[in-house]
Amino acid sequence: MKIGIVCYPTFGGSGVVATELGKALAKEGHQVHFITYSQPSRLDFLNENLYYHEVEFRSYPLFEYPPYELALASKMVSVVRNEGLDLLHVHYAIPHASAAYMAKQILKTHGIYIPVVTTLHGTDITLVGKDASYEPVVTFSINQSDGVTSVSEDLKRETYHSFKITREIEVIPNFIDLEKFKKQKKDHFKKAICPHGESLIVHTSNFRRVKRIGDVMTIFNNIHKEIPSKLLMIGDGPERSPAETMAREFGINDAVRFLGKQEAVEEVLSVADLFLMPSEKESFGLAALEAMACEVPVISSNTGGIPELMVQGVTGFMSNVGDVEDMTRKSLFVLDKNNLPKFKENALARAKEFDITNILPLYERYYEKVLQKATAIRSIESTN
């Protein structure tokens, strides 16, 4: 199959899922064409079935906001025509689903019918999509997609609740490539960061408000008062600077390191003892799955799709959003040397259920279903 994948090329979860999916499809022999505004950060390997098409958009003094969506739709049209794609799979509804709708209509005028699959990732529904400034377009473009998937049951429920959706949404959970994300021997690194055998706690995110970075700092400050410990903060975003201020104010500057964006997050996770994810909202929580794959138990909030990934008291613990005291207590319980080995083992066992080898066939079957339906509709249309 020839598949066009449209996504954000950044470190964010939706871009990571899209890129890893494309890589896995290419390994299975499908031809995969990425269409984005820059090279996806995880598109780090060479395969004869992988292609990358950059969306170029020119600025002009008249444009306060360059019309990216138009440039993207035009690029989709040319890639579908030139490469003979069978299907477009867009990740994150805004603005990818509406750009795909536009491309589909243009391609029809060339006698080409291209089915579009839209995958909903979370904030495209829960935070941004619901906003009145986007809602009509998001509703329309989801309903016009030939197939719609969501990364959790919770996100599916929320989509039906917040929008007038007239079509089926298929839940296909996120996944992990356990070949890539596995615990590595990094004793040197661990010794350098925790020279006295301190417990190592890690957080990774895009440092947006929804991630509740302040809670991460408070929980760690509480843990640090009780046991020797260090915190590594991976990623960057608007809440980084306030978090750095909090670390200074708590007087734990020496115990916290902000590493910024990291390519090989699995190397850092390999030496971690605990992962913190106290988010306000998380449609799935891919970062937690990545931690679990590296044998790291998780303390998180119990919001959104997280309970579909985490097993309470087994892979770690979930608490109500903002309950930093409960999260602290549970962190200390997990970090206890009598408990930690079992939690680590459980985290990995659960992560294995989300291995890409289990999830990839779900996408392949879904593509087949969408293609068959599209072919049937076309043949009915052509006989009328």
Using CB under 6 A as the binding rule, whether residue 281 contacts ligand GMT is answered as: yes
Find the part of the chain contacting ligand GMT (CB under 6 A) among 38-46, 221-229, 279-287, 330-338.
279-287
- In the shown chain, the binding pattern of residues 10 to 39 toward ligand GMT, with x for contact by CB under 6 A and - for none, equals --xxxx-x----------------------
Instruction: Look at residues 132, 166, 135, 131 and name the one whose alpha carbon lies nearest to residue 148.
Output: 166
Using CB under 6 A as the binding rule, whether residue 286 contacts ligand GMT is answered as: yes
Q: 3-state secondary structure string, 252-306?
A: CHHHEEEEECCCCHHHHHCCCCEEEECCCCCCCCHHHHHHHHCCCCEEEECCCCH
Sign, Cα dihedral of 63, 64, 69, 75 = positive
- In the shown chain, the binding pattern of residues 102 to 141 toward ligand GMT, with x for contact by CB under 6 A and - for none, equals -------------------xxx--x---------------
Return d(Cα 187, Cα 67) in angstroms, integer: 49
Using CB under 6 A as the binding rule, whether residue 208 contacts ligand GMT is answered as: yes
Type of residue found at 19: T
CB of 249 to ligand GMT, least distance (A): 26
Return d(Cα 270, Cα 186) in angstroms, integer: 7
Find the part of the chain contacting ligand GMT (CB under 6 A) among 23-31, 161-169, 206-214, 316-324.
206-214
The strand order across the sheet containing 147-150 reads 50-54, 31-36, 2-6, 87-91, 116-120, 147-150, 170-171
Q: Which of residues 42-81 bind ligand GMT (CB under 6 A)?
A: none
State the number of CA atoms in the 13 A half-sphere of 327 facing the CB. Answer: 29
Phi, psi of 69 (to 5 degrees): -60, -35
Return d(Cα 195, Cα 373) in angstroms, integer: 60
Using CB under 6 A as the binding rule, whether residue 150 contacts ligand GMT is answered as: no
DSSP string covering 4-33, please?
A: EEE---SSSHHHHHHHHHHHHHHHTT-EEE
Using CB under 6 A as the binding rule, whether residue 303 contacts ligand GMT is answered as: no
Q: Which is nearer to ligand GMT, 84 or 238 (CB)?
A: 238
CB of 49 to ligand GMT, least distance (A): 23
CB of 218 to ligand GMT, least distance (A): 20
Size, binding site for ligand GMT by CB under 6 A: 20
Find the part of the chain contacting ligand GMT (CB under 6 A) among 31-39, 249-257, 278-286, 337-345.
278-286
Q: Which is nearer to ligand GMT, 303 or 346 (CB)?
A: 303
> Cβ–Cβ contacts within 10 Å for residue 118, how many?
28
Q: Which is nearer to ligand GMT, 270 or 283 (CB)?
A: 283
Using CB under 6 A as the binding rule, whether residue 215 contacts ligand GMT is answered as: no
Instruction: Look at residues 174, 106, 92, 107 and name the one whose alpha carbon lies nearest to residue 141.
Output: 92
Type of residue found at 314: V
Q: Which of residues 176-195 bind ligand GMT (CB under 6 A)?
A: none
Q: Which of residues 345-364 bind ligand GMT (CB under 6 A)?
A: none
CB of 199 to ligand GMT, least distance (A): 26
Tell the residue number behind the tokens 């739709």, with chain if given. 73
Report strand pairing: 170-171 vs 274-277: unpaired
CB of 109 to ligand GMT, least distance (A): 33
Q: Give the one residue of 73, 85, 151, 310 binding ligand GMT; rule: CB under 6 A.
A: 151
Q: Give the one residue of 142, 200, 210, 370 binding ligand GMT; rule: CB under 6 A.
A: 210
**Tokens of residue 117, six digits:** 């699959």
Q: Give the one residue of 19, 31, 36, 174 binding ligand GMT; rule: CB under 6 A.
A: 174
Residue 338, judged by CB atoms within 10 A of its CB (0-12, 13-18, 19+), counts as: exposed
Q: Which is nearer to ligand GMT, 206 or 319 (CB)?
A: 206
By CB under 6 A, name the binding residues for ligand GMT.
Answer: 12-15, 17, 121-123, 126, 151, 174, 206, 208, 210, 281-286
